[in-house]
Structure 1
Amino acid sequence: MRRALLFIPVVLTVILGIVLFQRIGKDPTQLESAQIGKPVPAFELADLLDPSIRHGSEALRGKGPFLLNVWGTWCPSCRDEHPDLIRLAEQQGVRIVGLNYKDERPLALQWLERLGNPYALSLFDPDGKLGFDLGVYGAPETFVIDGDGIIRYRHVGVVNQKVWSETLQPLMQQLGGQG
């Protein structure tokens, strides 16, 4: 019996090694998403800029493909990607909907005032409910949504020029959007 107990750490180490080996070479920005091919989950959230305005999931339909960018002022990577989002919105006409995630409204408003606002629409998700329904792990995450409100792609991490030109822009063009 004691001898059998000695093999437990060996077995656990082998199992852990197999799991880690399977992840080698995988791109962490390419996380699986059960939401791909499904509509954006139903929601009703306040507008970040004007809390008296409420938006539902129908606000995300019928306006051609767009990016849904999940961000927060607490997220250093969101700050890194912000100039690229400004460039996409202002110079290339890309429609971006912002989902301010698990944040405080005054801080988010200060952020947009100071750094600029690339968002055609800003949703405020202080409890992270829509983020949870989307399967968000953290921020930044960016979803490509088609004109019918269907999630077509999910990018985890910073949207920069390389991600835009190699991944998001071709997909947006394929869906008939700007870029």
Structure 2
Amino acid sequence: MAALRYLQHYPATLQDKVRALIAQERLGEHLATRYPARHEVQSDKALYAYVAGLKQQHMKNAPGIDKVLYDARLDVLRNALGLHTAVSRVQGGRLKAKKEIRVASLFKAAAPEFLQMIVVHELAHLKEMDHNKAFYQLCTHMLPDYHQLEFDLRVYLTWRELPSNDTTPLQA
């Protein structure tokens, strides 16, 4: 039985369903059926507007975001699909904190639901730094099907690493 590194913490029954789709060479087809579209947020400027819109809609009182961008250096090997940072600098007699959100570049070609899930995850870190119960409650407040999308995103990442993968499910 092959290890599914993105799905290790999920029940064996779910992993077995994914393995069956892989064995039948139908995982890409399954993903393309569930997520047929590709989002149109392609530039850093558009990503900033997208994130700011979600923040305004769900987290008006959260700290502002100074920078949002796609980052080609983020990779799934280090489990970094998105990244939030707060950089503190002393300017004169003041301490300034700049908040940044970076999204892995591979999401430029992903389904809009996957981009939204990553952004919601990173926005939730503005209020909750740890992955605790309050963090996931905030994620599901902003995106009710957050947990299903997180699982499907992990399935998508699994599919991307398959040796037989020659097209993206969004092209099928």
TM-score by length of 2: 0.27
User: If each structure's strand is expressed as a fraction of its own residues, which one has the higher value?
Assistant: 1
TM-score, normalised with respect to structure 1: 0.26
Q: Which of structures 1 and 2 has the bigger CA Rg?
A: 1
| Greater fraction of residues in helix | 2
